[in-house]
Amino acid sequence: MGVKKKDIKVMKPKFIKGIEDRCAEISKIKDEDSFEYVYVSDCKIQNEVADKVSLKGVIFKNVDFIDTRLNLLDITDVRFENCDLSNINFDGAIIHRTEFINCRLTGLNLNNGTLQNVYMKQCNGEFAFMRFIQMKKVIFEDTILRNADFQNSNFSNIIFRKCDLRLSQMSGTSLSKIDLSDSNIEGLGIRQEDIKGAIVSPMQALDFAKLLGIVIK
């Protein structure tokens, strides 16, 4: 009898009524700036560098972030939809009740961050950096995470649904109780002690058997 697939409830972002009518532009971002309850669409946020910026109750739609570095970013109740955050630096970000929908996240730097109640769907996070990250109640669905770096991170109530995790690195990150059975984990970089308790398909188990030094005839 197979293991019943685990499910978790991720809290959705909370937005004020009529937020689509509160259109705004974000530019000239300074340290400790705060942006709340606005709708930002069809624009570019470019060459911005700041620390400890706060985003609350904001929707970004069709927004390109270019050459931007926002260290120690505080994000709560935010949705990124059809946005390009490729190679953007969000080092040390605290992200809560946030959605990334159909976004380009190639090379996004979330190292040393904290993610809780985050939902990522149909995104391209190839080569994303998520080292030393704390994740709790996070769902990755139909998302490309090929060559992503999750090393030395802490996972709690994490779900990968039909994700591409080929060649991603998870050494130093425990996968206990993490269901990888319907994701592609070919070439996953992991240590023997980190895969203990992981939920995998029979074919994936054969691949992991090599890591354990088991010879299958």
Q: What is the mean pLDDT of residues 38-65?
A: 96
Cβ atoms of residues 155 and 173 within 8 Å: yes
Q: How confident is the model at residue 214, as a pLDDT?
A: 58
pLDDT (average), residues 51-72? 96
- Radius of gyration in angstroms for the set of CA atoms belonging to the chain, rounded to a whole number: 18
> What CA–CA distance (Å, rounded) separates 118 from 121?
10
- Using a 10 angstrom Cβ sphere, with 0-12 exposed, 13-18 middle and 19 or more buried, the burial of residue 32 is exposed
Buried b (16+ CB within 10 A) or exposed e, 40-67: bbebebeebebeebbbbbbbbbebbbee
Which whole-number Å values give the CA distances from 100 to 55, 184, 196, in the listed order? 14, 21, 30
CA distance 58 to 174: 33
Q: What is the pLDDT of residues 63-114, one digit of tens each?
A: 999 999 999 999 999 999 999 999 999 999 999 999 999 999 999 999 999 9
pLDDT recorded at residue 53:
96
Residue 212 in this model has a pLDDT that exceeds 70: no
pLDDT at 208: 78
- Mean pLDDT for all residues in the chain: 92
3-state secondary structure 53-83: CEEEEEEEEEEEEECCEEECCEEEEEEEECC
pLDDT at 42 over 80: yes
Between 191 and 210, whose confidence is greater? Answer: 191
The pLDDT of residue 203: 84
Least confident of 6-15, 38-47, 76-85: 6-15
Mean pLDDT of 184-207: 89
Note the pTM of the prediction, 2 decimals.
Answer: 0.92
pLDDT tens for 111-144 read: 999 999 999 999 999 999 999 999 999 999 999 9
Does residue 33 carry a pLDDT above 90? Answer: yes
pLDDT at 103: 98
Q: Which residues, listed in sequence order, are joined to residue 179 by a DSSP beta bridge?
A: 199
